[in-house]
Chain A
Amino acid sequence: MAVAESDFSLASRRRPRWSRHRVASAASPYGLLAPALVVLGVVLGYPLYLIARLSFEKYGLFELIRHKGRWIGLDNYTAIIHDSQFWHVLLRTVGFTAVNVSLTMVLGTAIALLLVRVSTVVRYMLTAALVFVWATPVVVAVDVWRWLVDPQFGLANWLLTKLHVGNFVHHDWFVNPWSGFGVITAVVVWGAIPFVAITVFAGLSQVPAELIEAAQIDGARAWNVFREVTLPLLKPIFVILVSLSIIWDFQVFNQIWIMLDQRPSADYYLMSVYSFVESFRISEYGLGSAIAVVMVLIMFGFTFVYVRQMVKAGEVR
């Protein structure tokens, strides 16, 4: 039975055209992006602006109650620049970051290389171990290590005494900041190695086998192959890993805070701890903000490197 033309035009008239139009504009990119941007703007954008402004204000307890700060210009910055503690803390943080990042990268890469060479069973075991360590929450990890270096019953003291490295009975690791930071570095590096190891391992498996074989045929020994072929190909990954590690290790807070029972002495201040203490303990939010701003600026430098590498790798299209 033939269908009349008019039936069709009736149907199309019946379908409301406005709904299609509305949906289309709601589906426009800005509309889709808006909710996420709003949240980010509120929780990130505004605080960023705020911290910049706070760093130029005096904001103590009095101001906190009144919800209003007092503009003092660059006074906070001059205060911290002239404060020798600031420079000590900055230097300490830089040194700490350098040591941690280096250890993490070297050990992580070494483990990645190991993963390539071991048999399948061992590789699974090792990967599982790395994943376990990675998944462990930082607070948990710190508590475990705190227990390990406990003066009376910690395993570390017992082991070192047993191995005749010295007399470690009842040795408190945190009396001396150097050994204290040794423990903290151990925790940080231990927790950071899995990410590096697994990422580098993934990168290694992306190196085309043919290139390695060609180098072997061309006469290169194992070390030469690594240096001439593997390393240059892994360079982008290393740039990213190092940037990320620097950014993360520079901001270390939890490990110090929990390791020292939320009461670190000044010798243990890193930048984030220092900023926190100045603000919440002493209630000098303006000063704390200035310190934090310095941190953020330093971080932006490394962020730039990271972003540039991602752009180069074609991730930004």
Chain B
Amino acid sequence: MAEIQFVHVSKVYGGDVTAVRDLNLQIAEGEFVVLVGPSGCGKTTALRMLAGLEEITAGEIRIADRVVNDLPPRERDIAMVFQNYALYPHKSVYENLAFGLRMRKVPRDEQRRRVEEIARVLGLGDMLNRRPAQLSGGQRQRVAMGRAIVREPKAFLMDEPLSNLDAKLRVQMRAEIARIQQALKVTTVYVTHDQVEAMTMGDRVAVMRDGELQQVDTPQRLYDAPANLFVASFVGSPPMNLFEASVRRDNGRLLCKVGDSEFELPADLEAGRPALGAYVGRSLAIGIRPEDVREASGWDGARLRGRILLVESLGSEQLVHIEFAAAPLERSDLVDTAAQPPGPSLGVGELEQAVTLLGRFDRHLLLTPGEAVEVAIDPRLLHFFDLETGLAIPSAVDTPVPAGVAG
């Protein structure tokens, strides 16, 4: 087990393609950190640099306080689980598991002992003589994990190990991996593009985009206090509703205007978010999570009026797409699904600018597309972002945690 550090690490291909830009990340001993982001964000490159499979263009990587930049993979004492498992097809399961031990000249009976124990733990006991081609996807995945575990390395590196499994198996294996990691307490760096996986498995999650680290934090804090628009739209499913708004002051009250509606921001909100004061008279971006969008009956606070476009029944709740007047955000740093202008409008009345609001409504409500609806907004649940930089306008309490310090 060891501490892992990325210090100003960069990776540049061919002189002009930057895959990873100035990555600084500290991973504590025994911690499970997930690198997550869309394809091309640099997470796999970062992992491969850690493994020694890619050259580091600039910066240092340290494992257990030892700079490993020039060390070949086999001397870093790390183990890796690949997306396609990379099991040796011509070797039996036993030989696959024992390979790493054999390479390190572990005595034969010690090999046998460790392999058989791992096999037992992972439920592979009676498959030791089979070839990978004869195993199911889930079994192969377990052999790949076993191969990593049996070596008792300083760290586990996992490159999207679950993406080749079907949905149900994925949920099962997610839990198993998490369980194993907790039992063994080995430092683990896990790469995935699936934010659900990231949130459920990691002690801390590092969100990356275009080679840059956006935010590293515990899953809950990522959800509650995203540091910028990208993280806000990436984390959480269904994604956060984001749109443009403006703030003005009227008689000491802070008013927020969204499309045609305007509502007051309570005083304690401004007190808790002093930076907001700089945005008076300007436009900014506002976000609200779908579960914070409620049907307005019985609410005497801010309301937004809109028209129901579509109701998706999930059984446990209803996902309602509501069209209402607001300026959509058109930015490249948003994940595609969030805040898109709606398709052809079902409603009467041409809206010049419209946004689709996603709300998670109680399953008992009777809702029909085309119907007008009022939605309750609790301003205290709003997220605020700078329109130019995309950075969150922080509250006094919720400062995003810097990358260097462990969660």
Contact = CB atoms under 8 A, between A and B. Distances in A.
Is there a contact between chains A and B in the complex with CB atoms less than 8 Å apart?
yes
Given A211-B88, A228-B88, A232-B90, A219 B82 contact: no
A214 B82 contact: yes
A208 B73 contact: no
Nearest to A218: B100
Contact of A211 (B53, B86, B103, B104): B86
B404 interface: no
A229 B72 CA distance: 18
Contacts of A214: 80, 82, 86, 88, 147
B99 A233 contact: no
Contacts of A215: 88, 99
A13 B52 CA distance: 76
By size class, the interface of chain A is: 10 to 19
B99 A208 contact: no
Nearest to A221: B74
B51 A217 contact: yes
Interface in A182-241: 208, 210-211, 213-221, 224, 228-229, 232-233, 235
The secondary structure that dominates the A interface is helix
Given A213-B51, A216-B53, A218-B100, 11 more contacts: A210-B86, A211-B86, A213-B73, A213-B86, A214-B86, A215-B99, A216-B73, A217-B53, A217-B80, A229-B88, A233-B89
A217 B74 contact: yes
Interface string B57-77: 000000000000000111000
A217 B90 contact: no
B90 A218 contact: no
22 contacts: A208-B84, A213-B51, A213-B82, A214-B80, A214-B82, A214-B88, A214-B147, A216-B52, A216-B72, A216-B74, A217-B78, A217-B79, A217-B80, A218-B79, A218-B151, A220-B74, A220-B99, A224-B103, A229-B88, A232-B88, A233-B90, A235-B90
A305 B72 CA distance: 41
Given A210-B82, A211-B88, A228-B88, A218 B99 contact: yes
Contacts of B80: 213-214, 217
Contact of B73 (A211, A217, A224, A228): A217
Contact of A219 (B53, B83, B90, B100): B100
A232 B82 CA distance: 21
A208 B87 CA distance: 11
Contacts of A235: 90
Contact of A213 (B53, B90, B147): B53
Contacts of B79: 217-218
Interface residues of B, number: 22
Contacts of B104: 219
B330 to A, nearest CB: 39
Contact of A218 (B53, B83, B84, B147): B147
Interface string A112-125: 00000000000000
Contacts of B151: 218
A211 B96 CA distance: 11
Interface string B360-400: 00000000000000000000000000000000000000000
Q: Which of B51, B86, B90, B147 has the most A CB atoms < 10 Å from its CB?
A: B86
A230 to B, nearest CB: 11
Nearest to B77: A219
A217 B100 CA distance: 8
The 10 closest A-B pairs by CB, nearest first: A219-B103, A218-B100, A214-B86, A210-B86, A232-B90, A219-B74, A217-B73, A216-B73, A217-B80, A210-B82
Contacts of B147: 214, 218
Contacts of A233: 89-90
Interface in B146-176: 147, 151
Contacts of A216: 52-53, 72-74
Contacts of A217: 51-53, 73-74, 78-80, 100
B84 A210 contact: yes
Q: Which of A219, A220, A233 has the most B CB atoms < 10 Å from its CB?
A: A219
A47 B83 CA distance: 56
Contacts of A229: 88
B102 to A, nearest CB: 8
B406 to A, nearest CB: 26
A220 B51 CA distance: 14
A94 to B, nearest CB: 31
Contacts of B53: 213, 216-217
A224 B99 CA distance: 11
A242 to B, nearest CB: 18
Contacts of A211: 86, 88
A81 to B, nearest CB: 43
